Amino acid sequence: MSEPGLSVLGEPRRLALWQRLIATAQGGVGKLHYWTAEDGLESGSPGPSHQHTVPTLVLCLSGGIRIQGRAPLDLAAGDLLAIEPGCWHEHLPHKTGCSSFGLGFLAGRCDILFFDDTETLWGAVHEQPYRGLMDQLVATHEQPAAQRVGLRLPLVDQILAQVISDRSTFVDWKHPGVLAMAAHLWNHLHEPISADDIIAKSGMGRTTSYEMFRSFFGRTPQQELLVQRLDLALHLLRRGRSVTDAASLCGFANRAELTRAYRRRFGHPPSADAHEG
Evaluate if residue 124 carries a pLDDT over 90.
no
CA–CA dist 9, 16 (Å, integer): 9
Omega cis (within 30) before 129: yes
What b/e readout covers 5-18, taking b as 16+ CB neighbours within 10 angstroms? beebbeeeebebbb
pLDDT at 145 over 60: yes
Residue 1: per-residue pLDDT: 42
Q: Which of 86, 99, 89 is nearest to 37 (CA)?
A: 86
Quick one: angle between helices 145-165 and 12-27, nearest 10? 140
Handedness of CA 144, 248, 127, 238 (dihedral sign): positive
**pLDDT tens figures, 189-238:** 889 899 999 999 999 899 999 999 998 888 999 999 999 999 999 999 99
Q: What is the pTM of this model?
A: 0.90
Q: What is the pLDDT of residue 252?
A: 94
For 13-72, write each residue's pLDDT tens digit. 788 889 999 999 999 999 999 999 999 999 877 778 889 999 999 999 999 999 999 999
Q: Strand pairing of 32-35 and 72-76?
A: unpaired
Query: Could you read off the pLDDT of 85-107 as tens digits, one per residue?
Result: 999 999 999 999 999 999 999 88
- Top pLDDT among 183 and 173 is at 183
- Domain 176-272 falls in which CATH fold? Arc Repressor Mutant, subunit A (1.10.10)
In the chain, list all ranges with CATH 1.10.10.60.
Answer: 176-272
pLDDT confidence tier of residue 11, bands split at 50, 70 and 90: confident
